[in-house]
A and B are shown apart, each in its own frame.
Chain A
Amino acid sequence: AQKITQTQPGMFVQEKEAVTLDCTYDTSDPSYGLFWYKQPSSGEMIFLIYQGSYDQQNATEGRYSLNFQKARKSANLVISASQLGDSAMYFCAMRGSGNTGKLIFGQGTTLQVKP
C-alpha cells in the first residue's frame, strides 16, 4: 500500500532562514508523483511544487525546492529565506497508483516563522 509519512508535527524557523520539512513515502509503483501543499489558517490548500519519479532534476519553484532522494524514498521540502507569511500547515502528498490523479496525503507539519 502507498503511504506518506511526515514525522515533524511542528517546526519553528527564524525569519529569513531556510527550513526543511521532511517527507518519506512508500510505494511499489515505478511511476509516481510527489506534491507539496500549503494550508494557511484560512483553510485553503495551495499547490507549491511537484516532482515526478522520473524527473532527473529536483523541482524548484521560487523559494521552494524539493530535495528528492529516490533511493531513500524521501521528498523533503526546502523553503529558503522564510517569511512570516510562510507560517502554515504543510502537506506532502503522493499521486496514487493507476491511471488516476488521486492524492494520498501525509499528516502535515505545522511551520511557525518567528520574527
Chain B
Amino acid sequence: DSGVTQTPKHLITATGQRVTLRCSPRSGDLSVYWYQQSLDQGLQFLIQYYNGEERAKGNILERFSAQQFPDLHSELNLSSLELGDSALYFCASSPRGGFHEQFFGPGTRLTVL
C-alpha cells in the first residue's frame, strides 16, 4: 500500500458525459501528479500540483481539468468524454522538496461506452 488513495476504482460512463476522479496523497506529501495509461499512448503525464498551485502541465486535453484543494486532495475532471478517453488514470504524490520518490495510487479505470 503506497498510502495514496484514489476513488472510484472503476468508472463506466457514456460518451459526452463528465466524471470526477479523486485522489488523496500520502500524509505530508505536497505534490500531486496525474497520469494516464492507455494501450496506444502508454503512460503519460497530465498535470502536477504543488501545495494547491499548478506546477507543470503535460499532454492534458482542454476537456480535462484538475485542482488541488487546501487539504491537499486533488480532483481530475474529465468532460465531453470520448471513447478514446478510456484508460487507467493514476494519481501519484511526492514529498515536499523531494523528487527522488513518487508513489502511485491504485488507479481509476475509466471505461467510456
Chain A residues proximal to chain B, CB less than 8 Å: 33, 35, 37, 43-47, 50, 52, 91, 93, 95-96, 98-105, 107-108
Contacts and interface: CB of A to CB of B under 8 A. Distances in A.
Contact of B43 (A47, A91, A98, A99): A91
A104 B99 CA distance: 13
A102 B58 contact: yes
Contacts of B2: 44, 46-47
Interface of B: 2, 31, 33, 35, 42-45, 48, 55-56, 58, 88, 90, 92, 94, 98-107, 109
B107 A101 contact: no
A103 B45 CA distance: 7
Contacts of B103: 47
A95 B88 CA distance: 21
Contacts of A47: 2, 101-104
A109 to B, nearest CB: 12
A90 B109 CA distance: 19
14 contacts: A37-B104, A44-B104, A44-B106, A46-B104, A47-B2, A50-B101, A52-B100, A91-B43, A98-B56, A101-B94, A102-B45, A102-B56, A103-B43, A103-B102
Contacts of A98: 56
B104 A43 contact: no
B48 A102 contact: yes
A102 B94 CA distance: 10
Contacts of B99: 33, 95, 100-101
Contacts of B109: 43
B110 to A, nearest CB: 13
Given A91-B43, A102-B48, A107-B42, A45 B104 contact: yes
Nearest to A93: B43
A96 B35 CA distance: 14
Contacts of B106: 43-44
Contacts of B100: 33, 50, 52
A98 B2 CA distance: 26
A64 B91 CA distance: 24
A43 B107 contact: yes
